[in-house]
Structure 1
């Protein structure tokens, strides 16, 4: 990318502005906020590669280029002006190469195949890569104590990702993906792993039940961890925790019987959460 192209590209903040995580980033002090915008921008760019469709080979090449760029950045080299913000964040917050690589590995899972009914072990690996790894990067920016930060990333990342999976069942099926675990489908009496068959099944709610249970368990663990942490270091995680609790509660109230209305966090409820954690 040329200097002119880099200057014309959307900023990290612009990429983050449409995210449900934007409010949680905005309440941070400037340096932390900028760091989180860079992490989100990285995640958004590699996620776009995974979701764009098309031939696998070019997308694998793009992800491999990201590995090379991250490797250079973490080694103290700036491969292109477009990475100046991310370079600064890596240096300031000691962001770890392995966590960036884990996110890329998670996106590569989506490129390699349309994931359909993975077993619990594969689903947990996927959640670790696309969510908890992002959490491990984020807690370094937040300044969360190292031991508690690692545990918080583990549990809150999985809680948020499992909630996303439950919320986005229909949307994922539209791109031929199904993240509900195979064991849950079998236990619910669903024999097909075809996404369209599963979302049309009268037993869908039963298949979602163990995912809901596991999400709640991870939320409970995350809440306990945050209680042990300095308040300033978990302001943003608390906001995301509460926002996603609302999403999960709305999802459970709606149920899984079609037609299913897409779940969105009401703006007035998000504003209340932001005011509570941003001002008080």
Structure 2
């Protein structure tokens, strides 16, 4: 899923109290509206990919979204994207990023992802998370090169954290996003999700992914540190919230049984207060 359709995944759900809502509510109206449009799009296509409908129907529904995006950029937006016209123009949102998100969702549809190689996992993260970031940084107003770099690193950091957090939930859906190379290095030779997440060697697969996520968080922080505070307030809140999730996962460990981790309300509030107002 895309940061749980973009963060609460993956940068996600607009429900009050979510990290996404907390980060976006501090934005000026036009930016806030554009961000909710981006994430509404993510949620809708993610719901298609995660539904239990026939795969052929899900593929057709995703193709309809591609066709609608094309119509939007040809100047003939369908009703469900009519409100996007102003945001696309104001923030120069790119067609290819919307399409990349659909492509990422589709990676789970012909067959469930199970132990992809590292290159495929990185492509998946780019499409379902960093592409969302590339749209977002245009709304936030970052310079082009720094925006692309931030989207690359923060998107991957958030999505890798999601993968580690959602091991059991994804396995229940028949999915396994841990990389094949990591499994083999740990001596795990099958890709059955239920068996993998119960394997005693699982922590040896997960910790390198956690280290990779920490590296991407650090790189994202470097980009944000050299930009104006007002343009990185929202991504900072998202990044710090997800880093807190990663820290909790590492402290808990990855051996079965795994209790869900949750960032406390006090921690959430302190993150918002520190990076939105101080």
Fold match (TM-score > 0.5) = yes
RMSD of aligned alpha carbons: 1.5
CA distance in 1, matches of 2:263, 2:127: 25
Relative to structure 1, the CA distance from residue 163 to residue 198 in structure 2 (aligned partners, 3 Å threshold; closer, same or farther) is same
1:73 aligns to 2:72 (yes or no): yes
SS of the residue corresponding to residue 21 of structure 1 reads helix
Aligned to 1:191: 189
CA distance in 1, matches of 2:14, 2:231: 24
Relative to structure 1, the CA distance from residue 14 to residue 217 in structure 2 (aligned partners, 3 Å threshold; closer, same or farther) is closer
Shift of 1:83: 2.0
Aligned to 2:48: 49
1:252 aligns to 2:250 (yes or no): yes
Aligned to 1:123: 121
204-213 vs 116-125, which moves further? 204-213
Matches within 5 A, 1:97-176: 97-176=95-174
Relative to structure 1, the CA distance from residue 65 to residue 21 in structure 2 (aligned partners, 3 Å threshold; closer, same or farther) is same
CA distance in 2, matches of 1:257, 1:63: 36
TM-score under structure 1 normalisation? 0.92
Aligned to 1:36: 35
CA distance in 1, matches of 2:77, 2:187: 53
Aligned to 2:86: 88
CA distance in 2, matches of 1:99, 1:201: 37
CA distance in 1, matches of 2:143, 2:43: 26
Q: How many residues align?
A: 267
Q: Does structure 2 conserve the Cα–Cα contact (< 8 Å) formed by 1:115 and 1:178?
A: yes
Q: Does structure 1 conserve the Cα–Cα contact (< 8 Å) formed by 2:31 and 2:139?
A: yes
Aligned to 1:181: 179
Gaps of 5+ in 2: 1-11
Q: Does structure 2 conserve the Cα–Cα contact (< 8 Å) formed by 1:90 and 1:96?
A: yes
Relative to structure 1, the CA distance from residue 18 to residue 117 in structure 2 (aligned partners, 3 Å threshold; closer, same or farther) is farther
Shift of 1:16: 5.0
Relative to structure 1, the CA distance from residue 145 to residue 273 in structure 2 (aligned partners, 3 Å threshold; closer, same or farther) is same
1:242 aligns to 2:244 (yes or no): no
Shift of 1:25: 1.0
CA distance in 1, matches of 2:204, 2:84: 43
TM-score under structure 2 normalisation? 0.93
CA distance in 2, matches of 1:250, 1:231: 27
